[in-house]
Amino acid sequence: MNNRLLIGFGIFIFTLAACRPSGQQRSVTPAFYHWQTEFEITPEENAYLDTTGCKKLYVKILDIGVNAISGEIEPYSRLTLKATTGILKWQIVPTIFITNAVFKNITPEKTDWLVKKIAVVLAAYSFEKNVREIQFDCDWTASTRAAFFLFLKKMKQALPEKNLSATIRLHQYKFPEQTGVPPVSRGMLMFYNTGDIGSEATKNSIFDPKDALKYIEGAPKHYPLPLDLALPLFSWTLIYREGEFWKIVNGIPPDLRDTTRFEADHQDDSRLQVRKGTFLSGHYLRPGDRLRTEKIPAGSLLEAAQLASRMDLAQDMTLAYFYLDSTIIRQYPPKLIHSVCQKTGFTGNN
């Protein structure tokens, strides 16, 4: 056996050990979300997925929303497959993002149309015959639950051989009596976006342990669906204008280091102010606009996993990271991913 094979075998054994802590435990399967509009796994991403023991990819294939001008429900983004070599090494879970606005005034006829539209789109992908699960991502509310749940029931009728899952936000986890429980096989608990994105005073809206605790304390002891878990591996830049939330820029652009255009707060370098009019990721910023950069450090990711392990998660849990991207995963080495896996593997109040 050559050195490369020995190293690969060692990594595999380490991954298995990391995901099976001693004592009382739950089975944890690492997974990642693919949220880009083009599917092409880079060699770096492929190696990372192998090293972390990833078995499953939640791949967004479709975004559906309401046209701001016509008011019509329509897809506004669809996945393009650029490279599919080796794709079947992972269990692919097609994921459809649907805005809550879609279900505010949807008619039964339009619901039927939407179900057929999604079924046609799904069937067009080469990996469809290997798909066992389809996930729907919608932040439904008490006022849209009936329409969304009806859509899910009709979706199951259209695809009876597939298992359906749905994302569960923290407010839906804590208040199932008000928001309802979707008629699906499993839920994916999105354990992030805990803070108020609209407030400039928020420290970190992606994850703050104090905010997260509010959703754990007082929640029902048991959730009616088996729950998988999603943790954040992303960053963004929030822009505020005249004291009001204005825009989100994905990631933390390197342009922000330009001190001729941006002035950082002396006490908190995650907060900046625009010195002079400039463009940032296609958005024109005015002098005086304020920005807050947010990301989840390694320590916060471990803390999130520790807190989440106290929740009613499935014994055969998938731990999915949002999301897969070369520039992001470099900040989270495989050893950290293994440690997070260990944290969530334990049951009870750790």
Is residue 280 domain-shared with residue 310, that is, in the same domain? no
Is residue 115 domain-shared with residue 41, that is, in the same domain? yes
CATH at 314: 3.20.20.80
Is residue 71 domain-shared with residue 126, that is, in the same domain? yes
Residue 218 covered by a domain: yes
Find out whether 72 and 32 touch, Cβ atoms under 8 Å.
Answer: no
Find out whether 123 and 94 touch, Cβ atoms under 8 Å.
Answer: no
How many whole angstroms separate alpha carbon 315 and alpha carbon 347? Answer: 9
Which residues have C-beta within 8 Å of that of residue 65, sequence separation ≥ 6? 73, 74, 76, 98, 99, 101, 102
Residue 28 covered by a domain: yes
Residue 84 has a pLDDT of 86
Find out whether 99 and 109 touch, Cβ atoms under 8 Å.
Answer: no
φ/ψ of 84, rounded to 5, equals -120, 5
How many whole angstroms separate alpha carbon 5 and alpha carbon 9? Answer: 6
Is residue 67 domain-shared with residue 134, that is, in the same domain? yes
Find out whether 8 and 333 touch, Cβ atoms under 8 Å.
Answer: no
CA–chain centroid gap for 91, Å, is 17
Is residue 163 domain-shared with residue 301, that is, in the same domain? yes
Residue 6 has a pLDDT of 41
Residue 1 covered by a domain: no
Is residue 27 domain-shared with residue 55, that is, in the same domain? yes
Number of structural domains (the chain) is 2
Is residue 210 domain-shared with residue 177, that is, in the same domain? yes
CA–chain centroid gap for 59, Å, is 11
Residue 124 covered by a domain: yes
Residue 24 has a pLDDT of 56
Is residue 250 domain-shared with residue 327, that is, in the same domain? no
How many whole angstroms separate alpha carbon 31 and alpha carbon 50? Answer: 11
pLDDT values of the chain reduced to their tens digit, one per residue, 350 residues: 444 444 443 443 334 434 444 445 789 999 999 999 999 999 999 999 999 999 999 999 999 999 999 999 999 999 999 988 889 999 999 999 999 999 999 999 999 999 999 999 999 999 999 999 999 999 999 999 999 999 999 999 999 999 999 999 999 999 999 999 999 999 999 999 999 999 999 999 999 999 999 999 999 999 999 999 999 999 999 999 999 999 999 999 999 999 999 999 999 999 999 999 999 999 999 999 999 999 999 999 999 999 999 999 999 999 999 999 998 999 999 999 999 998 887 543 33
How many whole angstroms separate alpha carbon 338 and alpha carbon 350? Answer: 17
How much helix, strand and coil, in percent to the nearest 5, is found in the chain? 35, 30, 40
Residue 153 covered by a domain: yes
Is residue 268 domain-shared with residue 162, that is, in the same domain? no
Is residue 199 domain-shared with residue 256, that is, in the same domain? no
Task: Name which of 107, 120, 189, 114 is nearest 152 in CA terms.
Answer: 114
Residue 110 covered by a domain: yes
Is residue 179 domain-shared with residue 279, that is, in the same domain? no
Q: Across-strand partners of 294? A: 236
φ/ψ of 90, rounded to 5, equals -110, 155
Residue 163 sits in which domain range? 10-234+295-345
The H or E element that residue 232 is part of is: strand 227-232
Is residue 157 domain-shared with residue 261, that is, in the same domain? no
Residue 277 covered by a domain: yes
Residue 350 covered by a domain: no
How many whole angstroms separate alpha carbon 283 and alpha carbon 131? Answer: 39
How many whole angstroms separate alpha carbon 209 and alpha carbon 320? Answer: 19
